[in-house]
Structure 1
Amino acid sequence: MPSFAELVRDFVNTYDIEADADELSSPAELALWLRERGLAAPGDRATDDDLNTALLLREGLRAALRREPAELPELPELPLTVRVGERPELVPAGAGVRAGLARIAAATLDPSWERLKVCAEDGCQWAFIDASRNRSRSWCSMRICGNRTKTRAYRARKRGSRHLQGSNTDTV
């Protein structure tokens, strides 16, 4: 099973904004995705309501990873219980698709959450784990998204300086 951070990252990345491609486009695909990660049993089936809950959870997590205040839609109940051991933790109650989604929701309480971010490039918003020492990484890929952002800013500055130079007319 992947780490909590990897689980949340992979779940958020089931929708590729740039390509407009969704791995969770049907209840069957949701059940398969959860089974492949050990979050649902082979016989577990997802419903349309489960899919709707998963999509709300996914986009709520993406918004939370942007660290911007947002009004998130209310999620239907996910079966969670508190288990007390060395430290209290939320764990899924029961089994099935809803319990798998509950495990993803509970993963947000893991300390590795602080390392999760979404790409600052508006057209991307791919989730990634920031492994930099000072947690200052902004893009999923400096080579692609970082370069796009920096090139766009450079061009905007150049346009602005040309505009200012062209409007400099001295009257005598």
Structure 2
Amino acid sequence: MTGRSADISLVVDFLNTVNVEEGTDVLHQAGTWRRWATERDLRPDTLQAARAIRSTLRAAVGDPDAEAGPLGVPVQIELAAGTPVLSAREATGAVLAAAARLAVLGQWDRVKICPADDCRWAFFDESRNRSRTWCSMRVCGNREKARTWRERQ
């Protein structure tokens, strides 16, 4: 995976540690959070920090059910092969570093939350004009279009 792809994947995967449709939450227990972070070669920090950061990031990308709060995790700038690199030791710091890199590249506004009440899945909008609304047109978009069509009839 390229740097941009890895950043997108890390941020979206972190935002999707809560699954509204299935009613699951990786951040419900320390063990599942530790496993999630370890699978990505990251060091898990506290559940409390992870939950607060996830909620704030989800609110920032449009989740109406998420609450924004202050963010603050240690990140550092290192030189890797003569190039400055933003990095972090903990999982939430790595997620925020990835989000910051996306923002610097002008890509942060492409991270979105599906507006379907029973979904709220995070996704990265790859459309040329950044107009994608649904996580999946085949599932959520189709369901919503069918529902509004029925309401009009």
TM-score exceeds 0.5 = yes
Equivalent-residue separation in structure 1 for 2:67 and 2:35 (angstroms):
30
1:80-120 CA distance string (max 9 Å, x none):
2244788865422xx3xxx2211111211123423221112
Of structures 1 and 2, the larger Rg is shown by: 1
Alignment of 1:1-172 (within 5 A): 3-40=6-43, 50-66=46-62, 72-75=68-71, 77-83=72-78, 90-92=86-88, 95=89, 99-110=90-101, 111=105, 112-158=107-153
Percent identity over the alignment? 40
TM-score when scaled to structure 1?
0.72
Question: Between Structure 1 and Structure 2, how many residues are aligned?
Answer: 144
Q: Give the RMSD, CA atoms, in angstroms.
A: 2.6
Partners of 1:18 and 1:87 lie apart in 2 by 42
1:170 corresponds in structure 2 to: none
Equivalent pair of 1:5/1:113 in contact (CA under 8 Å): no
CA distance in 2, matches of 1:106, 1:120: 26
Gaps of 5+ in 2: none
Residue 151 and residue 78 in structure 1: after superposition, are their counterparts in 2 closer, same or farther (change >3 A)? same
Alpha-carbon distance between aligned partners in 2 of 1:89 and 1:17, rounded to the nearest angstrom:
34
User: Normalising by the residue count of structure 2, what TM-score does the alignment of the two structures yield?
Assistant: 0.80
Specify every segment of 5 or more residues in structure 1 that has no aligned partner in the other structure, as ranges.
159-172
8 Å CA contact 1:8, 1:107 repeated in 2: yes
In 2: Cα distance, 1:87 partner to 1:120 partner: 39
